[in-house]
Amino acid sequence: MSKDDEWIGGGEPDEDEMNELLNANNRMSQNGRLGNDYLQAIEVEGSGVYAVQLADGGWSMADGPGSKLEQDICCQGWHIPVRFETQEQSLAAIQEFGDSGDKVTILFGSRHDGPCVEHAISKGGRFEPLYA
């Protein structure tokens, strides 16, 4: 996948998009946690699971592409409370989790100690309260 495909809006980020990244603190949801207006969302083919970049620049795993790419609120999805430093770490964790069965059912439970969160942490992620 090229950089053009990875950045929402395509191409290199323009000045407004860079300002959006730099002002991540202004993009928190009402409860003080980062929302699902992801900067980037990359679906792992055939999985229905996305590597997503949140407003603070970190990466996580989500069951939808977020509010910027999906207008239907039921399909926007949400991320787990684990932060990866890179896109590659997030993608690898998703791909490796795919072997564990019905990931969509167990991936996004409300438990912070659920199987997906534990898997993501074992693959180099760290629990992030701002993502909860």
Side-chain-side CA neighbours of residue 72 (13 Å): 3
51 versus 16: the higher-pLDDT residue is 51
Q: What does the domain layout of the chain look like in residue ranges?
A: 3-131
Whole-angstrom Cα distance, residue 70 to residue 103? Answer: 21
Q: What is the pLDDT of residue 20?
A: 60
User: Which of 54, 47, 53, 44 minimizes the C-alpha distance to 104?
Assistant: 47
**% of residues, the chain, pLDDT over 70:** 66
pLDDT, average across residues 30-45? 83
The pTM of the full predicted model, rounded to 2 decimals, is 0.70
Average pLDDT taken over every residue of the chain:
76
pLDDT, average across residues 9-28? 55
Among 47-51, 72-76, 88-92, whose mean pLDDT is lowest?
72-76
